Structure 1
Amino acid sequence: MEIDEFGVEGWLNVHEREAKYDLAQSTITSFSMNELVSLTKADQTYSELDQQKMNYGWIEGSPTFKQEVSKLYDHVDPDNVLQTNGATGANMLALYSLIEPGDHVISVYPSYQQLYDIPRSLGADVSFWKLREEDNWYPDIDELKRLVRPTTKMICINNANNPTGTILDRNFMKQVVAVAKSVDAYVLVDEVYLPFDDSVDFAPIIDLYDKGISTNSLSKTYSMPGIRVGWTATNAELAERFRKYRDYTMICAGVFSDQAACLVLQNREKVLARNRQIVLDNLQIFKDWVERTPKVSCVFPNGVSTSFIKMETNESSENFCRHLLADTGVLLVPGEAFDVPGHARLGYCAPTETLEKGLEILGQYLEEH
C-alpha cells in the first residue's frame, strides 16, 4: 500500500515545537485539566481517577460517553456511537471498512488529506470536487452531479472545511444527499469544526441521511486534542460493520481519556460558551488585522477555528513560512500542505495574546519581504 505524505501533519510534526507564536493550529485554545475542572466545578475528578483501575475500560466507549454523544444528534441510538482515536481514527475506520479497490470516491478538495488519500491508497478511483477561492471556497452542486457515477461508493466532505473554514449549510447538504441517494452512495462528513456563527444553519449528515456517516472528536470545537477521543455516529447496520474493522485498528481510548471526554460532554454548554467567546473575539481581531494589512486577503470563515489566508510574497508560501518561522518564531501551515500554493492556514483561535503578537509580527514580515 502506497500513500502520499500527510502534508499538514508532516509540516506540524517537524515544526510545531519550534514555534514561539503558533498560529498554525485549528484547535480552539486548548484546556488545561485545571481549567477544565474549574470551569465544570468537577472537584471530584482527580479523586475519581485515583480510584480508577487502569484496565482497558469500556472498549467502544462508556455508556455515559455514548449517551452524551448521541445527544448531539436528532436520532442516533447510543449503541450506534463508536469511540475512536480522534476524528482521524473515525475517518480511517469508515474508509477502511467500506472502500475497496476499484470503488469510485468523490472528495471535496482542498480538504483534510485523509478523505482522499486513504481511499486512493486502498485502490479507489478518486474524483476531486473542487473548492475555488473566486466562489468563496463554496462547492458547486452541479459539479458534484457531473462527477457522480452509477458506481460511486462514497462522497467525502469535511464540514466546516479544513483549511478554508467554509460551512455547507443544511439546505446545501440536503442537495448533496439527493445526489448520493441517486446512486445509493455513502456520505462521510468530518464534522470536527462546529460553527459559532448563529446565522449558519448547520446539520450533521447522520441527521439528514441514513447512509450518512458523521465523524467528530473533542479536539477542535471542544479544545481537548490531548485525550485523543473521537467517534463515528451512524445507522445500526454501519455501526455493526464498523465494529469488526474497529477491532483491528484500536482496542479502546483508555479509561482516563473516556473519563475526561465524559466530563467535557456533560458540561458541553459551559465548554461551548467559553469557546464561542474565544472564536468570536479572536475572529474580530483577525478580521481587523486583514483589513489593515497589505499583501493579505481572506475569505473569512463562518465562526470556526480555521482560516486560509492568501499572501503576496516573492517566494513560495512554503519557503515564506519556513523563513518566517526561523526568523520570527511565527508558525503557519503553508498552502502547499493542501496543494494550494500562495496561501497559508492561520489558526486564529490561539490564546489572544499569542494571536495579537503573532499577527503583528506576520504583518511586519510580509511588508519587509
Structure 2
Amino acid sequence: MKLPRFGVEEWLNVHEKEATYDIAGVSISALTVQELFDLTKTNSKDFYQELSQKRLDYGWIEGSPTFKKEVAKFYENVAEENILQTNGATGANMLVLYAMVEPSDHVISLYPTYQQLYDIPESLGATVDLWPIKEELNWLPDLDELRQMIKPNTKFICINNANNPTGAIMDRSYLTELVAIAQSCGAYILSDEVYHSFDDKDIPAIVDLYDKGISVNSLSKTYSLPGIRVGWVASHKEVADILRDYRDYTMICAGVFDDMVACLALKNRQKILERNAKIVRENLAILMDWAAQEPMAELIRPAAVSTSFVKLKIDLPIETFCLNLLKKRGVLVIPGNRFDIEGHVRIGYCCPQETLKKGLALLSQELNE
C-alpha cells in the first residue's frame, strides 16, 4: 500500500506556523474550551468535577450512547446503533475505504476533492477514475459525464458535499439524480459532509437518500472543534456491521475526554450553529466585497461554507506566488496546484475578521506589486 504525499496537509504541516495571517484553514474559527462553556452556559466547575470522576479507561468503543443519540438526530433514517465514532472525518473516510474497497473494484471520485477519496482506493489496488468539477458549472461536475464513466464493477462513487476546495453544493435534485446513477450499477456513494452550508438550500445527507449511501461528518469544520478529533460514519446496518470489524484495526476509541466534549457540543449544536452562521455570513461578505474590488481576483461565490476558491490573474506559478506571499507578507493560503488547478488559491475565510481583512489587503498588495 503506497500513498503519494497529501498535498494540502503537507503544505499546512510545513508552513502554517510561519504565518502571521492564516487564511488557509477551513474550520470555522475554533472555540476555546471556555468559549464552549460560555456559549452553552455550562458551569465549568461542574464539567471538570464530572471529568475528574471519570475513569480513564477505553470508554465507549463506538462512541457513548449520548454521542450516538445526538448524532442520529442529524439524519432521518439512521438508527443510533449504526453511528460509529471515528478519529475525525479523516478517520471515517479511511475506515470506509479500507473496509470496503477491493483490488478488483472500480471507484469514481469527484476531483479535486479531499485527497483521501481517490488516493486511498488506488493504493488498495482499485481502478480509480476522476470525475472533474467544472468552473463553467459553478464548480459542480457533469452528471452526464458520470453516466459515461459507470462500469459493471463500479463499487464506489466518492464525493464531498460541499466541495473542498470550492464550496460548491450538490442540492437535493442533483443528489437524487446522482443516486439514480449509482443505483444503475449498485454502487455505494461515500459522501464527506463536513462543510455545512448556511445558505437556505435543501441539502440532504446521502445516507437519507440511498440505502447504499454512507455519510461522513465531524465536529472539526462546522462545529469549530478540530482539536478533539471526533467524527463519525452514519450508514445503514449492512455497512455498519462491516465497518465494526475493521474499526478495531484503526482506532479502538476516540477517548473519554473527547467524547465528553463532543457530547456537550452536540447537545448544544444550535447555539454553535447560530454563532458560526454569523461568522460565515459576515466574513463571506468581506471576502465577496474584496473580490469585487480586486481586479486581479475572481471568485465564484461558495455556498456559505467555510472554504472558497479564488482565481488570481498572475503569470507566476501559483505555488511560487503563495510562497512569496507567505515569506514577504506573512499571509498563508493554499496554492491551487495542491488540487491540480493552477492560478487559484483556497482561502478559508472563517478566521477572526481582523485576520481576514489584513490577509486580503496584503494579498492585494502582493498581486498588484
TM range (shorter): over 0.9
- Give the AA of the match of 1:297: E
The corresponding residue for 1:243 is 244
Could you report, residue by residue, the CA deviation over 1:171-204 in whole angstroms, capped at 9, with x for unpaired residues? 1001110011110100000000010001x21000
Contact 2:23 2:349 in 1 (8 A): yes
Q: How does 1:116-131 map to 2 (within 5 A)?
A: 116-131=118-133
Of 228-237 and 46-55, more deviation after overlay is shown by 46-55
Contact 1:294 1:367 in 2 (8 A): no
Contact 1:156 1:188 in 2 (8 A): yes
The residue matched to 1:257 in structure 2 has which SS? helix
Of 208-217 and 305-314, more deviation after overlay is shown by 305-314
Aligned identity (percent) is 59
1:261 aligns to 2:250 (yes or no): no
The residue matched to 1:192 in structure 2 has which SS? coil
Instruction: Name stretches of at least 5 consecutive residues in structure 1 with no aligned partner.
Output: none
The corresponding residue for 2:76 is 74
Give 1:134 shift.
2.0
- Give the AA of the match of 1:327: K
The residue matched to 1:348 in structure 2 has which SS? coil
Contact 1:110 1:131 in 2 (8 A): yes
Whole-Å Cα distance in 2 between the matches of residues 322 and 56 of structure 1?
A: 43
Q: How does 1:201-212 map to 2 (within 5 A)?
A: 201-212=202-213
The corresponding residue for 2:225 is 224
Whole-Å Cα distance in 2 between the matches of residues 126 and 152 of structure 1?
A: 9
- Give the AA of the match of 1:300: R
Whole-Å Cα distance in 1 between the matches of residues 238 and 346 of structure 2?
A: 37
The corresponding residue for 2:311 is 310
The residue matched to 1:183 in structure 2 has which SS? coil
- Give the AA of the match of 1:14: V
The residue matched to 1:309 in structure 2 has which SS? strand
- Give the AA of the match of 1:6: F
The corresponding residue for 2:177 is 175
The corresponding residue for 1:338 is 339
Give 1:65 shift.
0.2
Instruction: Name stretches of at least 5 consecutive residues in structure 2 with no aligned partner.
Output: none
1:65 aligns to 2:73 (yes or no): no
Of 313-322 and 61-70, more deviation after overlay is shown by 313-322
Whole-Å Cα distance in 2 between the matches of residues 173 and 136 of structure 1?
A: 16
Of 38-47 and 246-255, more deviation after overlay is shown by 38-47
The corresponding residue for 1:93 is 95
Whole-Å Cα distance in 2 between the matches of residues 288 and 10 of structure 1?
A: 31
The residue matched to 1:276 in structure 2 has which SS? helix
Which portions of structure 1, spanning 4 or more consecutive aligned residues, are displaced by more than 3 angstroms?
A: none
Whole-Å Cα distance in 2 between the matches of residues 292 and 38 of structure 1?
A: 38
Whole-Å Cα distance in 1 between the matches of residues 50 and 177 of structure 2?
A: 47
Contact 1:95 1:119 in 2 (8 A): yes
The residue matched to 1:188 in structure 2 has which SS? strand
Contact 2:179 2:210 in 1 (8 A): yes
TM-score (ref. length: structure 1): 0.99
Whole-Å Cα distance in 1 between the matches of residues 83 and 97 of structure 2?
A: 16
The corresponding residue for 1:11 is 11
Could you report, residue by residue, the CA deviation over 1:300-355 in whole angstroms, capped at 9, with x for unpaired residues? 10010000001122311111111110111100000011111111100010111111
Give 1:102 shift.
2.3
1:214 aligns to 2:210 (yes or no): no
The corresponding residue for 1:319 is 320
Whole-Å Cα distance in 2 between the matches of residues 313 and 282 of structure 1?
A: 25
The corresponding residue for 1:29 is 29
Give 1:42 shift.
1.1
Whole-Å Cα distance in 2 between the matches of residues 215 and 311 of structure 1?
A: 32
Give 1:364 shift.
1.1
- Give the AA of the match of 2:198: F
Whole-Å Cα distance in 2 between the matches of residues 45 and 173 of structure 1?
A: 41
Contact 2:134 2:142 in 1 (8 A): no
- Give the AA of the match of 1:11: W
- Give the AA of the match of 1:267: N
Aligned residue pair count: 367
1:276 aligns to 2:277 (yes or no): yes
The corresponding residue for 1:285 is 286
Whole-Å Cα distance in 1 between the matches of residues 336 and 126 of structure 2?
A: 25
Give 1:151 shift.
1.0
TM-score (ref. length: structure 2): 0.99
1:150 aligns to 2:152 (yes or no): yes
Of 308-317 and 165-174, more deviation after overlay is shown by 308-317
- Give the AA of the match of 1:251: I
- Give the AA of the match of 1:304: V
Give 1:57 shift.
0.6
Q: How does 1:130-141 map to 2 (within 5 A)?
A: 130-141=132-143
The corresponding residue for 1:51 is 53
- Give the AA of the match of 1:48: E
Contact 1:159 1:166 in 2 (8 A): yes
- Give the AA of the match of 1:291: A
Cα RMSD after superposing both structures:
0.7
Whole-Å Cα distance in 2 between the matches of residues 210 and 120 of structure 1?
A: 25
